[in-house]
A = this chain, B = another copy of it.
Amino acid sequence: MNLENTKAQMRKGILEFCILALLSQKEAYASELIQTLKDAKLLVVEGTIYPLLTRLKNDGLLSYRWEESTSGPPRKYYLITQLGKDFLSELTTTWKQLTDSVNKVTRG
């Protein structure tokens, strides 16, 4: 039993929610999202976020456009779609219910 492992498991399914929420506020590219999540103490690495973004895009929740950068290779800016906004709305409800339930159970 490993605390780090359990932490990782707790994060499962939450990243989708966080990324949709961030992109609903403003468009961003992957490295930018990683930095934002790190600042919020939600550890994420490249190998996690790139497949996730691709998955969300393939499911129609996100779209993207290329943009040139003055300090490196071009960036893939991701935008949330209407479908993504609808899904985010449901996830928000789900998250609230989940935290309520957990807090109820764990506070005895």
Which of A's residues lie within 8 Å of B, judged by CB? 1, 3, 6-14, 16-18, 21-22, 24-25, 36-37, 40-42, 55-56, 59-61, 87, 90-92, 94-95, 97-99, 101-102, 104-106, 108
A7 adjacent to B37 (CB under 8 Å): no
Complex interface: chain B residues within 8 A of A10 (CB)? 12-14, 17, 94-95, 98
Q: Known contacts being A1-B87, A87-B1, is A106 close to B94, with CB within 8 Å?
A: no
Complex interface: chain B residues within 8 A of A56 (CB)? 1
Q: Looking across the interface, which residue of chain B has its beta carbon closest to that of A13?
A: B9
B6 adjacent to A105 (CB under 8 Å): no
Q: Looking across the interface, which residue of chain B has its beta carbon closest to that of A97?
A: B41
A42 adjacent to B1 (CB under 8 Å): no
Complex interface: chain B residues within 8 A of A94 (CB)? 3, 6-7, 10
